[in-house]
Structure 1
Amino acid sequence: MPAVRSAGCRRAAPPSDRRPRQWCPHRPGQSLLLSEPRTPARHPCPRPPLLYGAVSHCRRDPSSPRGTGSATFVTPTASARIARVNPSAAPFLRQLDPPVADALVARIRRRIVPKSQFILRTGSAGADVVLILAGRVRIVIDGADGREVVLAILGPGELIGEMAALGGQRRSANAIALDDVEAGYLRAEELRSFLAEYPDAALALIRMLIGRLVEADRDRVDLATQDSVGRVSKRLLALAADHGQQADEGTQIGLTLTQEELASWTGATRETVSRALRLMRQLGWVTTDHRRITIHDADALRRRCGETEWR
């Protein structure tokens, strides 16, 4: 009988129904029927939502009795697998213990931010922090010549605006919704109260800030020592780790990104990035199609940029 692997366990598929199934991590023995791989399914689960799109959590209808409501199961992404190698690379919410994460989510004020709209603006007061619940956010800053420079692309579970909120400063960057984003807002004083009540959350915040500082240092080193092909290779690996989806032909980066945006994130011109991608296509490392990139040879990209892991 074929076995089906799910979140950390292996179970036998029922003889009468061999369609793909995954097993609820919070209710052992209860399965989720998936119509196709990576497609959300509905099933009974008492677990409230903690993070959408990046970790195996379930969302139950709060009006239903415990264990009987319908819930959405989300398959772990590549970032969840990479986070097991480097904990500081995990989104902030995933670094918290479930009761602590529940306490944080219970305090936030939810809001839907439409695609391309500002979530945070440069120069505004740091009165709030924002927890990304769904969707992706582009962190950008305007350069001296007026060009927009991409600092990061963040997804579900990430915390943004914390430095201005905790430091009592003006915001130094813009946060713009790449998709329709579900955001959770928390006032600065509420965040300080939460961190005082839950010291482990403060440690997780420190780990997150250290991880971002280390990544910024690596970017500066890469800018001084790597050529454009090496820097683009590193960005593609990071995008694949955070937003990649496995396909028969390789890893598809499920993020619409223009060459100009990739160039500003890489520290190069659009023409330079275009030449780097053309070389990668000729070598068979990647293919590109309508702003989407598929990685065929991740090992070659790692060797080219000197990375041992995707993050």
Structure 2
Amino acid sequence: MDKLSEQDRAFVERAGHHRLHARGSAIVSQGQASGPALIVEEGWLKSAHVSAHGAQALLGIIGPGAVVGALQILTDTPHTGEVTALTDSQVLHITKPRFLQLLAERPAVEHAVHRSLFSRARDAEGHLASICSLPPEQRLCRLILCLVQGYGERTGSGLEICIPLSQLDFAAWAGVSIETVQRILRTWRRRGIISTGRQRITVLDATSLSRITCVNGRASR
């Protein structure tokens, strides 16, 4: 949605109302009926699915410009996961009828929503392929490299992931245990590849991290 013209963006903003969500607050519940559509204006959200046994699978990170709930509105289906604020966030809420009217009246907005849906579907497909085909260290490595490339901020020592993710979040996203994440990060810290803090990872040696990724089906060190 951030690529819309100023006119279309103003039209979208007038269609809804702004709400502030505190860090850690639930915004969408798993199984919740479709509507309203949510557009992230500031901050970061996470989407996760919780199994009947309480196991959590992180589905993705949602940042400024992203739309939440569009697929559920268009298909009239409930949300398959929960959405929580990772940081204090400002979100534009647009009711289901108004959102459908918006798509019908503004072709550029409709195209932007479709692009967002296609992009998230492509990312989900790539992530699923990674989980199914790669060993844990390479899964975590690719995840961190993707986050650094998309959301990294350069510091004096390296590239810091600017989204506050816990080790439990990384475990849920990579499809591994928290103990496995802790072991891998400990090894990387010892080798000087990364440094870590509370909900913070800084990549110190991106070249070494890249070598851990899969090359011709094998890990390269």
TM-score by length of 1: 0.65
Matched, 1:170 2:78: yes
Runs of 4+ in 1 over 4 A off after TM superposition: none
1:28-75 C-alpha deviation (Å, 9 max, x unpaired): xxxxxxxxxxxxxxxxxxxxxxxxxxxxxxxxxxxxxxxxxxxxxxxx
- CA shift for structure 1 position 177: 0.9
Corresponding letter in the other structure for 1:176: T
- CA shift for structure 1 position 306: 4.9
Aligned to 1:95, the other structure's residue is in SS state: coil
Structural mapping, 1:257-296, within 5 Å: 257-296=165-204
Specify the alignment match of 1:123 in structure 2: 31
**RMSD of Structure 2 on Structure 1 (CA):** 1.8
Q: Kindly indicate whether structure 1 or structure 2 has the higher relative contact order, using CA contacts under 8 Å at least 6 residues apart.
A: 2
Specify the alignment match of 2:6 in structure 1: 98
Corresponding letter in the other structure for 1:140: A
2:98 aligned residue (190, 205, 214): 190
Matched, 1:252 2:136: no
Specify the alignment match of 1:218 in structure 2: 126
Query: Structure 1 unaligned runs (5+)?
Result: 1-92
- CA shift for structure 1 position 152: 0.9
Corresponding letter in the other structure for 2:208: A
- Which of the pair is proportionally richer in helix? 2
Structural mapping, 1:198-213, within 5 Å: 198-213=106-121
Q: Output the CA distance in 2 between the equivalents of 1:137 and 1:297.
A: 28
Which range moved further: 101-110 or 263-272?
A: 101-110
Q: Output the CA distance in 2 between the equivalents of 1:111 and 1:194.
A: 19
Query: Structure 2 unaligned runs (5+)?
Result: 216-221
Matched, 1:112 2:20: yes
Q: Output the CA distance in 2 between the equivalents of 1:296 and 1:247.
A: 10
1:104-127 C-alpha deviation (Å, 9 max, x unpaired): 122221111122111111112112
Corresponding letter in the other structure for 1:178: L
Specify the alignment match of 1:235 in structure 2: 143
Q: Output the CA distance in 1 between the equivalents of 2:118 and 2:153.
A: 28
Q: Output the CA distance in 2 between the equivalents of 1:213 and 1:305.
A: 23
Q: Retained in 2: the 8 A contact 1:120–1:161?
A: no
- Equivalent pairs: percent with the same residue? 25
Corresponding letter in the other structure for 1:125: A
Q: Output the CA distance in 2 between the equivalents of 1:296 and 1:168.
A: 45
- CA shift for structure 1 position 242: 4.0
Q: Retained in 2: the 8 A contact 1:142–1:148?
A: yes
Aligned to 1:211, the other structure's residue is in SS state: helix
